[in-house]
Amino acid sequence: MKFALQSPYKRTRSPLPIYIGALLITLGAIAAFAQDTEKNNQPGGDIAVQQLSFARNDPQALSIARRMYGRDYTYVKAVRVWLEAPNDDPEQLFLKISKSRNCETECFNVALFHNEKWLEIYRRPAVDALGLSAVTPTGMRSIIEDGRVWTWNGQAYAPQPNQEGMVEREANEEELALVSKELGANVDETTATSFGPPEVSVYDVDILTGGEKIIVVHSPYFCGQSTCPVFLINNLGQSYRMIQALEGVIGISKTERDENGFRGIETLSRGGVTVISPSTGAPMETIPIQPVVVAGTVK
């Protein structure tokens, strides 16, 4: 879609939530989300429905990007995007920038959002597989980076654990008994409390040798208002470690392995995604929530 981009320095819009209040979810954004999701058959709006390419620069977008980044980055490409529902203020850009020729080193993808001033709301090492989801209920599209989903949480883009290839199923009787033993409480008895029965989810995974499981317990009784217990089960059906994950959201790293060869377990945390070593239980890496800064400033 082609549209004219007026001078960003003469136009004003309500600031992003990190500067003033929470992001307002308009009826138009909700309607656009519903229509886009239905059209593309994308439940949750977290699957890429638009692939981003820098093969063809937008001249006006490139001019804006070079004013902010050209001094520090010799390689700059820019395209217009819709990060929110289409409206009369198309002031969002995606950039590819680098300090080296042909983006060979220090190469980044950057998302910009104009809100009285240009704000940088996303910067990550550049990947070829970059896309956007349908508009989500927060009013902003998710960014899909080489399979990882980054969702707008009302104030910033936050990473989600990699769940590629993970299929959730309900726990069987044997698995429920194992969880009850590990928790030191009969899972079935909690159904008599005001919290109701817990949801016990199982993922059959390959962490080291294959045939392992991850069991997650979802329940206010066991989770409170914070993290939920997650049990790592070896290929003999034995529980060997309990970790915690915010809302019980977990995944498996595509590339990170610990010193003993175990694939890292990705857990949702308040700071972003924390990758845990299955063999030691220690954090291996943190993928932080993206800070919102004035575009062109050093990060």
Share of the chain above pLDDT 70, in %: 80
Q: What is the pLDDT of residue 275?
A: 98
Per the CB < 8 A criterion, the answer to whether 121 and 113 are in contact is yes
What pLDDT, in 10s, does the model give residues 218-268?
Answer: 988 888 888 999 999 999 999 999 999 999 999 999 999 999 999 999 999
102-111 contacts: CB < 8 A, separation 24 or more?
102/75, 103/75, 107/75, 109/145, 110/69, 111/81, 111/83, 111/143, 111/157
Per the CB < 8 A criterion, the answer to whether 73 and 91 are in contact is no
Is a pLDDT exceeding 70 seen at residue 79? yes
Cβ neighbour number for residue 86 with a 10 Å cutoff: 12
Ranges 20-24, 90-94, 132-136, 274-278: which has the least confidence: 20-24
What pLDDT, in 10s, does the model give residues 180-226?
Answer: 899 887 666 665 566 777 899 999 999 999 999 999 999 888 888 88
Burial (CB count <10 Å: 0-12, 13-18, 19+), residue 60:
middle
Is a pLDDT exceeding 90 seen at residue 124? yes
Per the CB < 8 A criterion, the answer to whether 252 and 207 are in contact is yes
What pLDDT, in 10s, does the model give residues 131-181?
Answer: 999 999 999 999 999 989 999 999 999 999 999 889 999 999 999 999 989
- Read off the tokens for 213: 């499981």
First to last CA, the chain: 31
Q: What is the pLDDT of residue 102?
A: 87
Per the CB < 8 A criterion, the answer to whether 34 and 40 are in contact is no
Is a pLDDT exceeding 60 seen at residue 14? no
User: How far apart (Å, rounded) are the C-alpha atoms in residues 266 and 274?
Assistant: 6
Q: What is the pLDDT of residue 258?
A: 97
Q: What is the pLDDT of residue 44?
A: 40
Q: pTM value?
A: 0.79
Buried b (16+ CB within 10 A) or exposed e, 220-239: ebbbeeebbbbbbbbeeeeb
User: How far apart (Å, rounded) are the C-alpha atoms in residues 53 and 249?
Assistant: 31
Ranges 50-59, 116-125, 245-254, 269-278: which has the least confidence: 50-59
What pLDDT, in 10s, does the model give residues 101-110?
Answer: 889 889 999 9
- Read off the tokens for 16: 């992003």
Share of the chain above pLDDT 90, in %: 65
